Amino acid sequence: MNAPEPDPFPSAAAPEPLGGCVLVVDDELPNRAYLRKILTARACQVLEAPDGAVALQLARAHKPDLALVDVMMPGISGYEVCQAMKSDPALQEIPLIMVTARTDIADIEHAFLLGAFDYIRKPFNPRELIVRVRNALLLKRSTEEVRMWKQKMSRELEVAGSLQRKLFAARPLLTETFEVRSVFQPSMNIGGDFFDVLPLADGGLAVYTGDVSGHGVGPAMISSMLKVLLTDLIRAYAERGPAAICTELNIRFRRQVDNPEVYATLFLALFDPVHEHWHCLNCGHPAPLFFTRRDAAPMTLGEQGDLPIGFADERGPGYTSENEMILAAPPGSLMFLYTDGLTEARRIAGGEDLGLEQLGRTVSALLLEPLLPNLPAATFARVREAGYHLEADDCTALLVSRIAPDEIKMMSSIPPDHRHVADLAADCERILLGLGWPDEAATATRLLVMEHAANAVDHGRLPVDATISLQLRVRGRTACLLFRDAGREWDYDDGLEGARLRAPDAPRGRGLNIIRNIASHIEVFRRGSENIAFYLVSADFDTAKIAGTPL
C-alpha cells in the first residue's frame, strides 16, 4: 500500500459513527493498522486477518457486518476469500469491498462476478473509503431488516394458516344417512377458499364451497369471515331457501368489505329430508358433479345461477328463487363440490388445464375402487400422479354421499354394559359370516366391536340413560363401522399413539392396540357432544396381525 493519507478527521469535529463489525483482511500489518485507525474512529469494531485462511475462520466465528479484503495476498487470494464466503450460506449475506492496486477493468469485473459488493483502488482517499463502508453497512442493515421482517411475516402467516386450517379442518361429517369428506389445500400458508357442512334442525343438511377473489392475507380473512356469516345465516334462513341466505350474505359482505373489486363465488345446497332433494343456488361458482349412484356417469348442473357474492346491488331485490335449482337426491347419490383451483390445475409437461371432463373421469374411476377413506383427498393424489400441479391456487373439494340403503347391514343402539356389548359384537360377526366373509375377518371384526364398545363402557363415563350406537355398512369386501356415544371427551389419537408404542402384550392399551391391528383405517373425533369413531375392516384381513391375541 502507498504511504497513508494524512489523518482525515480534524480534531475540532467528531466523526460520524458508523458502528458495525468490520473484518479487515490484508497481509501487511501497517495497512491493517491504518484501516483500524480509520474505522475505530467511526465506532466500528475491527477484526484483523493477516491472510485468507484466518479471514475465513474469523468470518465463520463472528459473522461480521462487512469485510474489507485485499486482493493480492500470498496463499489464499482476496478473490478466493470472496468466492469462499459467497459460496457459504452462513456468510454469503456479508458484503465484501475488495481493496486492489490493480487498475485493469477485467480484474474489477472479476471481483463483481464473484459477488463483491464494491471495490476501492489503492492508494485510496480515506473519505472515499468511509463513504463506501457506510453504503455497504447501510445495505447490510437494510437487508437484515428485510430478512427479519420476512421471518416475522412468515411466522405470523404460519400462525394465521394454522388457525385457518383449524377453522376449515377437513373433519368428516358421518351420520346414519350422510357421509361428507373434504380436503383443503391453500396455495400459501393461508387461502381464500371456504367451505362447510352443517346439519340442520329438521334432519336436513347444508353444504357449500366458495372462493374469495385474490390471494394472500386479505382473501383469507374474508373467507374466514364468510364462514362465520354463513353459519349464522344458514341456521336463521334455512327454511326460506338459498336465495334468502345469499341475499342477506351479500348485504353483510358489502357492509364489511368496502372494496368493489373483492367478491366471492359460492355454491350453496340445502338437503330437504322430506322431499329428498337438494335445493341449490350457484353464485358464480364452478358447478359440482352429481352422481345418482357410484357407477353412474357424472351429471353437471349447467350454467344456471346468479352473480357472485359482492356483485349484486344490496339495494336491489337481491337473489331470487328463479335461479335456484332443485336436484333429486335418491339414497346412494353423491355430489362432488370443488373450487376452480382444481379444474384449472395445469399439467406440468404440456401446460393444459385439468378441466371438468378429466375431473369427472378421475372421480368416476375412484368411486368404483375399493372403499377409500377420503375420496376428495384421493382425487388430489390421483391428479398429481397424472402430472398436474395443484399448488398454484387454493384447492378445495367435498364429496357428499347419501348412504345407499343396501349397504346398511345393521343399525343398533345398546345400553352401556358389557353383556350388550358382547351381543352387539356377536351380531356383527353373524352378519358378516352370512355375507360370505371368511371366519377370520368376521371374528376380527367382532373383536374390534367388543374392544371399542368396552372402552366406551369402562372409560367413557356415559350418562345413566346414554347409549352406544353402531352402524355396520358393507360395500364389496370392506366393512364400515360407525360408532357414536355421548361420553366424556378424551384424546383417542393420543391413546392410539400410546398403544402403538407399547408392547402388543402390555395390559394397558391392549384394546386400542387390537383395534389398530385390525382396522385398515381409523378415525376417532369429537363432533358437538358426541364421540364418533369410524373404522374400515377388510374381508381380506391378515390374521397374523393379531396372532396370539385371545378372542
Q: Is residue 476 part of a domain?
A: yes
Answer yes or no: do 445 and 540 share one domain: yes
Q: Is residue 523 part of a domain?
A: yes
The whole-number pLDDT of residue 190 equals 66
The whole-number pLDDT of residue 10 equals 47
The whole-number pLDDT of residue 5 equals 47
Residue with cell 371366519: 439
Residue 38: which CATH number? 3.40.50.2300
Q: Where are the beta strands (DSSP E) in 392-516?
A: 395-402, 408-414, 468-475, 478-485
Answer yes or no: do 376 and 311 share one domain: yes
Whether the per-residue pLDDT at 551 is higher than 50: the answer is no
247 pLDDT band, cuts 50/70/90, is very high
Instruction: Look at residues 387, 403, 419 and tell me which one is the last residue of a structural domain.
Output: 403
> DSSP 3-state helix, strand, coil percentages of the chain (rounded to 5)?
40, 25, 35
Instruction: Look at residues 87, 112, 146 and tell me which one is the last residue of a structural domain.
Output: 146
The whole-number pLDDT of residue 498 equals 62
- Contact (CB, 8 A) for 309 and 249: yes
> CA Rg, the chain, in Å?
34
**pTM of this structure:** 0.71
Q: For residue 5, give the DSSP letter.
A: P
Answer yes or no: do 397 and 412 share one domain: no
**DSSP-derived pairing of the beta strands 277-283 and 118-121:** unpaired
Residues sharing a CB contact under 8 Å with residue 542, sequence separation 6 or more, in sequence order: none
Q: CB neighbours (10 Å) of residue 368?
A: 9
Q: Is residue 12 part of a domain?
A: no
∠ CA 511-515-521, rounded to 5°: 155
Among 33-37, 253-257, 424-428, 526-530, the range with the most confident prediction by mean pLDDT is 424-428
Question: Which amino acid, residue 534?
Answer: F
Answer yes or no: do 352 and 371 share one domain: yes
431 pLDDT band, cuts 50/70/90, is very high
DSSP conformation letters of 480-529: EEEEEE------HHHHHHHHHHS-TT-STTHHHHHHHHH-SEEEEEEETT
Q: Which three cell numbers stand for residue 541?
A: 384381513
Tell me the per-residue pLDDT of 389-404, one tens digit each, with 9 for 90 and over.
998 888 999 999 999 9
CA–CA separation, 449 vs 409, rounded Å? 15
Q: For residue 302, give the DSSP letter.
A: T
Residue 340: which CATH number? 3.60.40.10
Answer yes or no: do 332 and 475 share one domain: no
β-pair partners for 331: none
491 pLDDT band, cuts 50/70/90, is low
Residue 42 domain boundaries: 21-146
Angle, nearest 10°, between helix axes 375-385 and 355-367?
A: 120
Q: Which three cell numbers stand for residue 333?
A: 347419490
Q: Which residue has the higher pLDDT, 511 or 79?
A: 79
124 pLDDT band, cuts 50/70/90, is confident
CA–CA separation, 91 vs 350, rounded Å? 40
Instruction: Look at residues 85, 113, 146 and tell me which one is the last residue of a structural domain.
Output: 146
Q: CB neighbours (10 Å) of residue 178?
A: 18
214: left (phi over 0), alpha (psi -120 to 50) or beta: left
527 pLDDT band, cuts 50/70/90, is confident
What percent of the chain clears pLDDT 70, i.e. is strictly above it?
A: 87
The whole-number pLDDT of residue 500 equals 60
The whole-number pLDDT of residue 216 equals 73
Angle, nearest 10°, between helix axes 510-518 and 439-459?
A: 140
Answer yes or no: do 358 and 297 share one domain: yes
Tell me the per-residue pLDDT of 203-229, one tens digit each, with 9 for 90 and over.
899 999 999 987 777 788 888 899 999
Strand order in the sheet with 408-414: 408-414, 468-475, 478-485, 530-538, 521-527
Tell me the per-residue pLDDT of 172-204, one tens digit each, with 9 for 90 and over.
899 889 999 999 888 766 678 899 999 998 889
342 pLDDT band, cuts 50/70/90, is very high
Q: For residue 306, give the DSSP letter.
A: B
Residues sharing a CB contact under 8 Å with residue 320, sequence separation 6 or more, in sequence order: 243, 306
Per-residue pLDDT averaged across 8-25, rounded?
74
Q: Is residue 9 part of a domain?
A: no
Q: Is residue 159 part of a domain?
A: no
The whole-number pLDDT of residue 375 equals 96
What percent of the chain clears pLDDT 90, i.e. is strictly above it?
A: 57
Whether the per-residue pLDDT at 21 is higher than 90: the answer is yes
| Farthest CA pair distance, the chain | 105
**Poorest-confidence range of 131-140, 156-165, 294-303?**
156-165
Answer yes or no: do 336 and 187 share one domain: yes
Residues sharing a CB contact under 8 Å with residue 135, sequence separation 6 or more, in sequence order: 118
Q: Is residue 155 part of a domain?
A: no
459 pLDDT band, cuts 50/70/90, is confident
Nearest to 382 by CA among 402, 359, 404: 359
Whether the per-residue pLDDT at 141 is higher than 80: the answer is yes
Question: Which amino acid, residue 180?
Answer: V
**Poorest-confidence range of 2-11, 335-344, 463-472?**
2-11
Query: How far, CA to CA in Å, does 491 sit from each of 410, 450, 482?
Result: 28, 20, 18
Answer yes or no: do 410 and 398 share one domain: no
The whole-number pLDDT of residue 308 equals 93
* Number of domains within the chain: 3
Answer yes or no: do 285 and 428 share one domain: no
Whether the per-residue pLDDT at 143 is higher than 90: the answer is no
Q: Is residue 493 part of a domain?
A: yes
DSSP conformation letters of 242-282: HHHHHHHHHHHHHHH---TT--EEEEEEEEETTTTEEEEEE
The whole-number pLDDT of residue 111 equals 85
Answer yes or no: do 174 and 65 share one domain: no
Residue 429: which CATH number? 3.30.565.10
Answer yes or no: do 422 and 490 share one domain: yes
Mean pLDDT of all residues belonging to the chain: 87
Answer yes or no: do 209 and 351 share one domain: yes
Whether the per-residue pLDDT at 104 is higher than 70: the answer is yes
Q: Is residue 6 part of a domain?
A: no
Q: Which residue has the higher pLDDT, 465 or 168?
A: 465
